[in-house]
Structure 1
C-alpha cells in the first residue's frame, strides 16, 4: 500500500494501462518493481530520484502501456 501511494500506481486493466505518478522520498532514492502484473501483461519498472524529480524506465513490458500522470 505504501509503494502504491509513493509511486501513484493506478491500474486500468480493462484499458490495458498502468497510470503512475511517482514521487520518491529522499530516504528511497531508487527502487525497481519486478513482475508487476496488469491483466496478461507483466512489467519491470525502475524508479529513481534525480534531484527533486522522480524518473522511471520500463525495463520489461509495453512501454506505451505505462502512462505518467
Structure 2
C-alpha cells in the first residue's frame, strides 16, 4: 500500500541522536492518535519505514485524503 511521507530524517542522525528519536516517536504517536480519532486503524494507516539512507514516517492514502479534506487543511498546494 502506498504511503505519503509526513516526516523523515537521515538514518545516521536517527540512530545517533536521542532527541531525533524522541521527536520521531512523538510525531508517530500524534499521528496514530489522530488516526484513532477519525476512526482509522493506526497499524494500517501509519508506517515507520527504515531504509539505508533515512527513517520515514508515512500515512496511508486514505488518511492523507482525510487530512487534506478536513478543516484546517493538511497541505497548501
| Fold match by TM threshold 0.5 | no
Higher relative contact order (CA closer than 8 Å, sequence separation 6+): 2
Task: Pick the structure with more strand per residue.
Answer: 1
Task: Pick the structure with more helix per residue.
Answer: 2
**TM-score bracket relative to the smaller structure:** 0.3 to 0.5
